Structure 1
């Protein structure tokens, strides 16, 4: 099992393809398998690295106070262990928050950056969504939390058409050992995150990619984020909801690759 050992944990990771490094960082669920719909296409052009966040999947289940800054530090630790000096970066949701931190604290480590289904800081709507998810986790248990997750992430038509695959994926990704305390702390990390005062310092090529029917991190967050990051490019997909990389992978992959490969011969 490929793992890198940091000072206080192990991170599970996988690599695909060759060439310039491209780090894909998942959202709150934290598992690298979130990116399965991107791996074949992206690895034609890049050395793609995915990993399970600390506290999720096959990485260490550390009992710590989780934060976006801590997740960003783990990502740098992974890059250090794999001897990656600089990489392009695609972050989804929580991964996009990690990108905000790294773009300001370690700009020399990142090339082009995609922030997909991102948010700036918790507002009343965002906080209500995650408070509901936390109550499900705490009061109804991990099984109810996992079962409710697609309702927040996917369009209704996609859930209708993919219910068997969703249920299979739930068992593969979460298994039977979702740790309530760890996930509760990871939700705190999202609710406490606010990097808005630093966004104006970002001096990188950034694509902010939102989705018009995203009902977890609505497109107004993407508009705000792109307005605060100097010279950021903004694209709003019409359909696909929060997990558009899974529900509309052909559209998502084309947009992301067009940005990452801009000006290069393909």
Structure 2
């Protein structure tokens, strides 16, 4: 992955797929790394030019020791788009990536052609608050390795964890080896818990798909229902199985659903939308 200078940090990014058409930004969640999208990348790249990146504080991007916020992450992504001359793009955001998408679609409407909010939220509910507080406590008390070891519990349904134990063990080892510091991990959790997306939602005018699995314990379906209710014209799609990592657990369903939505909102269609 090449490196882009965005001013006070450098972001690792990757561009794959077709050269023509409106690009698609695949924006990861709390983990922040582009590799999250590996099960989906081939399908998306066959139809679109796809841009992925490691968030600041994750992967091979700058590990800045600083307070983090969703708004900071949105500004970083906007600066990356500027650095790469991406004027307008579809944005597919997972969890925190969806929160980033809310900020960009509301504050930079000319830059976001359409929006997919997958397993995301605007208002921290009691369930999500408990999950994130537990992860933060685990980080403080047991350290970085156990923080990463617990991640699959929040992301995947039990049957997926049981069926993919060895693969998940490799993922945990890689995440631990490449982990940012405990202070960055905690600051990113704090920034996510502080996010209030409700003021942004009425300002989002682009076509929006809200997607969630019913067995998601981190951002439960009511969080997605709220997004769909508060964003004008948004469409809510629920599916029974997939938990918080639906795109990895049920990649065929995810790819088909999101790519069909993107096909409905080409550059020409989106630009004609009032």
Q: TM-score range by the shorter chain?
A: over 0.9
| 1:73 aligned partner | 75
Contact 1:23 1:88 survives alignment (8 Å): yes
| 1:147 aligned partner | 149
Q: How far does residue 121 in structure 1 lie from its aligned partner after superposition? A: 1.4
| 2:195 aligned partner | 193
| 1:15 aligned partner | 15
Whole-Å separation in 2 of the counterparts to 1:176 and 1:250: 29
Per-residue CA distance 1:63-103 (angstroms, 9 max, x = gap): 11100000000000111111000001100000000011001
SS at match of 1:111: strand
Q: How far does residue 174 in structure 1 lie from its aligned partner after superposition? A: 3.8
| Alignment of structure 1 residues 139-218 onto 2, 5 Å | 139-175=141-177, 177-218=179-220
CA separation of 1:138/1:47 partners in 2, compared to 1, >3 Å: closer, same or farther? Answer: same
CA separation of 1:28/1:220 partners in 2, compared to 1, >3 Å: closer, same or farther? Answer: same
Q: How far does residue 263 in structure 1 lie from its aligned partner after superposition? A: 6.4
SS at match of 2:243: coil
Whole-Å separation in 1 of the counterparts to 2:215 and 2:231: 23
SS at match of 2:75: helix
Q: Provide structure 1 residue ranges, at least 5 long, that are not aligned to the other structure.
A: none
Per-residue CA distance 1:208-228 (angstroms, 9 max, x = gap): 001111010000101111000
| 1:238 aligned partner | 240
| 1:90 aligned partner | 92
SS at match of 1:120: coil
Contact 2:123 2:198 survives alignment (8 Å): yes
SS at match of 2:120: coil
Per-residue CA distance 1:14-72 (angstroms, 9 max, x = gap): 11111331100000000000000111000011110110000000000001110000000
Whole-Å separation in 1 of the counterparts to 2:178 and 2:42: 29
Q: How far does residue 125 in structure 1 lie from its aligned partner after superposition? A: 1.6
| Alignment of structure 1 residues 56-135 onto 2, 5 Å | 56-135=58-137
Name which of 48, 51, 59 aligns with 1:49.
51
Contact 2:59 2:179 survives alignment (8 Å): no
Q: How far does residue 237 in structure 1 lie from its aligned partner after superposition? A: 1.4
Q: Provide structure 2 residue ranges, at least 5 long, that are not aligned to the other structure.
A: 267-274
Contact 1:27 1:93 survives alignment (8 Å): yes
Whole-Å separation in 1 of the counterparts to 2:35 and 2:73: 17
Q: What do you get for the CA RMSD once the two structures are aligned? A: 1.1
Whole-Å separation in 2 of the counterparts to 1:208 and 1:176: 31
Aligned residues: 264
Contact 2:116 2:258 survives alignment (8 Å): yes
Whole-Å separation in 2 of the counterparts to 1:76 and 1:198: 16
Whole-Å separation in 2 of the counterparts to 1:213 and 1:27: 18
Contact 2:207 2:265 survives alignment (8 Å): no
- TM-score, L = length of structure 2: 0.94
Per-residue CA distance 1:147-172 (angstroms, 9 max, x = gap): 11000000000000101111112223
Per-residue CA distance 1:163-219 (angstroms, 9 max, x = gap): 111111222334254310001010111110002022112111000001111010000
CA separation of 1:263/1:180 partners in 2, compared to 1, >3 Å: closer, same or farther? Answer: closer
